[in-house]
């Protein structure tokens, strides 16, 4: 019995020592938000979720879609004359007046800085003709992104019957919008000088997203608030090659929620060389001095992924190739996929050269096989 106790004590000590050197997973943070999602746009993984699939009002984070449509329209440089109908809207404003003229992109920039409902309305009427038609454009784009539980009614996010989304859907929208360079540059700026064409003037707008000052890794995106929706925030951050999108809906302490969630998320990320375990493969060769040519990855590919992410390796090679084959010649590619999302595509190249098999037949044999192929077959 004494020996058993001694062995158990030794075993427990060894276990504790082992646990002390294993990396500890960060504990999930407590957040004030009613709904929250932390999303990895590279892999499509949800790293944190709280009521993330419940449809809720999302206030002015709606303007992410409005700005995205403006930047994607191909009409960014077109001048827009502001009408009384455009500015006849309640709530926050970027100070537009009937008769002002500025480009569509300038309106989008000012709208995202000041969260101007007048700017959102101007974009909607300019691109859609009327609010209903623009809402249809918003919903069509949402469907393309995969926002299955989202329905847009207003371009600004003012409360309206049926206007709602989920934290998860808004994360998809945030990730999609940040892929647009003009959008990302706008929302990542703490203040912008917006030029008016008429009357000629420059107006400075401050970004409402205080997370840009509070969190060094923050790269955007948009705040929102109505009494019905509460405080809403969609934000993005990058660190050491990893990118995350965070969404909170109805969050009394949203700044701290996002900081805590980002810290939690980045603690789950780690750099990984995708090509590290690639095993050389081969492609059959027709008419060459060798029957197959080995091929391997042309270059190294790496990504920052959450721990335990399962990476799928998909090979794309021809069934065969005709000689000659030159060393270094691209024969196909390997695709690395996580959760159905492509992380990288790496060319596969021939490791060695395979010359054409020399023809050693005599002239008589060639003549005979050409004119009497039935004899050659014997």
Quick one: pLDDT at residue 325?
Answer: 96
Place of tokens 């995202």: 112
Q: Tell me the pLDDT band of 331, cut-offs 50, 70 and 90.
A: very high
Bridging pattern class, strands 201-206 and 191-196: antiparallel
List active site positions: 60, 63, 115
Torsion of CA 279, 285, 291, 297, to 10 degrees: -20
Q: What is the mean pLDDT of residues 134-162?
A: 97
CATH architecture classification, 35-267: 3-Layer(aba) Sandwich (3.40)
Residue 152: partners with Cβ closer than 8 Å, 6 or more residues away: 62, 65, 135, 138, 139, 142, 163
CATH 3.40.710.10 intervals, the chain: 35-267
Are 80 and 126 spatial neighbours (Cβ–Cβ below 8 Å)?
yes
Place of tokens 């009613």: 34
Q: What is the pTM of this model?
A: 0.81
Local structure of residue 126 (DSSP, 8 states) = H
Q: What gap in Å lies between CA 325 and CA 316, rounded to an integer?
A: 18
The DSSP string of 151-202 is B---SS----TT-BB-HHHHHHHHHHHHTSHHHHHHHT-SEEEEEETBTTEE
Question: What fold does the segment set 269-378 form as a domain?
Answer: Peptidoglycan synthesis regulatory factor (PBP3), Domain 2 (2.60.410)
Query: What's the chain's length in residues?
Result: 378
Place of tokens 């027709």: 286
Local structure of residue 249 (DSSP, 8 states) = E
CATH 2.60.410.10 intervals, the chain: 269-378
Q: Which residue has the higher pLDDT, 63 or 25?
A: 63
Q: Tell me the pLDDT band of 370, cut-offs 50, 70 and 90.
A: confident
Quick one: pLDDT at residue 307?
Answer: 84
Are 63 and 73 spatial neighbours (Cβ–Cβ below 8 Å)?
no
């Amino acid at each position: 019995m004494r020996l058993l106790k001694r062995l158990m004590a030794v075993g427990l000590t060894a276990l504790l020592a082992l646990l002390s050197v294993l990396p500890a997973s960060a504990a999930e943070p407590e957040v004030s938000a009613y709904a929250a999602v932390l999303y990895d746009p590279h892999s499509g993984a949800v790293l944190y979720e709280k009521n993330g699939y419940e449809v809720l009002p999302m206030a002015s984070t709606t303007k992410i879609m409005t700005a995205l449509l403006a930047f994607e329209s191909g009409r960014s440089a077109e001048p827009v004359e502001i009408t009384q109908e455009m500015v006849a809207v309640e709530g926050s404003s970027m100070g537009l007046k009937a008769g002002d003229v500025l480009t569509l992109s300038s309106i989008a920039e000012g709208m995202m800085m000041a969260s101007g409902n007048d700017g959102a309305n101007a974009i909607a009427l300019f691109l859609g003709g009327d609010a209903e038609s623009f809402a249809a454009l918003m919903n069509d784009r949402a469907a393309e992104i995969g926002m299955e539980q989202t329905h847009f009614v207003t371009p600004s996010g003012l409360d309206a019957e049926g206007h709602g989304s989920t934290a998860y859907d808004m994360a998809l929208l945030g990730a999609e919008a940040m892929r647009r360079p003009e959008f990302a540059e706008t929302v990542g700026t703490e203040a912008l000088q917006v030029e008016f064409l008429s009357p000629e003037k420059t107006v400075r707008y401050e970004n409402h997203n205080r997370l840009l000052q509070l969190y060094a890794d923050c790269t955007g995106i948009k705040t929102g608030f109505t009494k019905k929706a509460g405080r809403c925030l969609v934000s993005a951050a990058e660190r050491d090659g990893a990118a995350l999108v965070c969404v909170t809906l109805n969050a009394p302490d949203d700044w701290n929620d996002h900081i805590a969630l980002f810290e939690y998320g980045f603690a789950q990320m780690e750099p990984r060389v995708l090509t590290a375990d690639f095993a050389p493969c081969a492609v059959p060769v027709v008419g060459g001095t060798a029957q197959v040519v080995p091929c391997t990855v042309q270059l190294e590919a790496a990504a920052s992924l959450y721990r335990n992410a399962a990476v799928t390796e998909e090979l794309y090679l021809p069934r065969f190739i005709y000689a000659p084959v030159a060393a270094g010649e691209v024969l196909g590619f390997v695709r690395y996929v996580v959760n159905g999302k492509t992380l990288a595509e790496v060319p596969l190249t021939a490791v060695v050269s395979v010359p054409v098999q020399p023809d050693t037949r005599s002239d008589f044999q060639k003549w005979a096989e050409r004119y009497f192929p039935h004899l050659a077959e014997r």
